[in-house]
Amino acid sequence: MNFWQTLKKPILVLAPMADVTDPAFRRIIAKYGKPDVMWTEFVSADGLFLGGYDALIKDLAFAEEERPVVAQFFTSHPDMMRKASELARTLGFDGIDINMGCPDKSVEKQGAGAALIKNPKLAREIIRAAKEGAGDLPVSVKTRIGFNKSELETWLPELLAEEPAVITVHARTRKEMSLVPARWEHVKRAVEI
């Protein structure tokens, strides 16, 4: 079931933030200011299945009051994304989100996060793999407007070709990180595209 289609607009969410939106933080937010949707912190799909399961599974804990809650993963390996999506479905998440916007150098070295902006073919393979593993759960993508400059005109159509349930656009490039104000005109253009 695609919960995204049942939400009233405007949709208010608790964005996924590394080292912030952990289970304890989300429970506090759910109790005192519940948004329409919550995400986990991003979790390494590779790490879950290549030796770090016991440490990372804790990041995927959630409580019923957080629903709808979306598990966010990063990887550059479609097979790992498929497995992570299957795991999220088994754990009872309401959706799967793929991080294609993280500018962290250790994530980019793996070819994941914002590095996927430079590899649309692989990005599309990862979306397809997530959808295979997710079953009937909606798959969404979080990304940026481009790597060094705005690439919405070419990047966004690549993502849209895979028909994700939602695309969340961080209105800055990877190069800009969060050092400049959000470029809201690019969000408007993303909606037009």
User: Which sequence positions are flagged as catalytic?
Assistant: 102
Report the half-sphere exposure of 191 (CA within 13 A, side-chain side). Answer: 5
Task: Report how far apart the first and last C-alpha atoms of the chain are (Å, whole number).
Answer: 25
DSSP assignment string, 82-105: HHHHHHHHHHT-SEEEEEE----H
Q: CB-hemisphere CA count at 13 Å for 70?
A: 31
172 conformational bin, left if phi > 0, alpha if psi -120 to 50, beta if neither: beta
Side chain identity, residue 104: D
3-state secondary structure (DSSP) of residue 45: helix
**Is omega for the bond preceding 164 within 30 degrees of 0, making it cis?**
no
